[in-house]
Amino acid sequence: MHIGRHESISAVLTNGNVLMIGGANDRGILNSTELYDPSSGAWTTVDSMNDVRFLHAISVLLDGRVLVTGGVSSGAGITNTAELYDPSTETWTLTANMSHGRYFHAATVLTNGQVLVTGGDGTGPPNTAELYDPSTETWTMTGKMNYERVSHTASLLANGKVLVTGGEDALAGPLNTTELYEPSTGMWTTDSSMHFGRFFHTASVLIDGNVLVTGGVSDNYHITNTTEFYNPSTETFMPIDKIKNVPSSYKPFILTSKKVLADSENNGTAFFNTELH
């Protein structure tokens, strides 16, 4: 990349290129973005966002545009701004603001094309949720979650519902609770609890529709190597093999063989480990 950064977020565009967005470095919070072309292995600098931000969330919309929401902006302020990246013009435009400023939130593209933004720390209660409609570029509040959550995951299931897992509560600590969002009603229902409380974890929807929940920070705020499967048909969790190495941050990649590749980053040391599940 042209600029060193951490806490940035990347999005795989519909053309296969990767857009690296925002983050921070020793010079401050960034609004710069870069494109990676896998065919050439080259990075190019593209239009910068209107606002600097890190700890934000991104969503690739059904029309190929990228929606960036919230995060921490200049002056350590929590922002409610949102903006759209158009790959055809490689430019950013501001869109309507969210109802609440948020960071460590989750954003999920629904089957109807709307974006569900849930929880996070910020200017509103961490159990709030709101919907973005790309056709009108407007936000509306939807049903509140049953639990306040920060640093959780929100996964779109094959049945169109959204599974929210774990996260952190200011009083309860790492959560093992989960809940389901029904887009047709805008309501939340509690679901089976995970076997382990966790936040900063990942949740990967597999080809068979099951969800693999991996790692994160768990009880007593220790980095955990526990993993578990969620079965949407039975709405239950089942613990499986632990991750052999315990990185504090890693990203899973779904392979065509129905396996998941867990790519380590670091836990205070440099990790170059990958594991298959």
CATH number where 9 lies: 2.120.10.80
Give domain status of residue 4, yes or no. yes
Give domain status of residue 93, yes or no. yes
Asked if residue 261 lies in contact with residue 275, where contact means CB atoms within 8 angstroms, the answer is yes
Mean pLDDT of the chain: 89
Give domain status of residue 153, yes or no. no
pLDDT digits (tens, 9 = 90+) for 141-182: 999 999 999 999 999 999 999 999 999 998 889 999 999 999
Give domain status of residue 137, yes or no. no
Range of the domain at 4: 1-105
Give domain status of residue 205, yes or no. no
Give domain status of residue 269, yes or no. no
Alpha-carbon distance values, 86 to 3, 21, 91 (Å): 21, 13, 6
User: What pLDDT score was predicted for residue 242?
Assistant: 65
pLDDT digits (tens, 9 = 90+) for 31-82: 999 999 999 999 999 999 999 999 999 999 999 999 999 999 987 699 999 9
What pTM value is reported for the model? 0.88
How many domains is the chain partitioned into structurally?
1
Q: Taken in order 124, 79, 57, 114, is the CA torsion positive or negative?
A: positive
Residue 265 has pLDDT above 80, yes or no: no
User: pLDDT > 70: what percent of the chain?
Assistant: 87
Residues 6+ apart with CB under 8 A from 70: 53, 56, 57, 78, 79, 80, 81, 82, 98, 101, 102, 103, 105, 117, 120, 122
Give domain status of residue 128, yes or no. no
Report the SS3 class of residue 74. Answer: helix
Give domain status of residue 114, yes or no. no
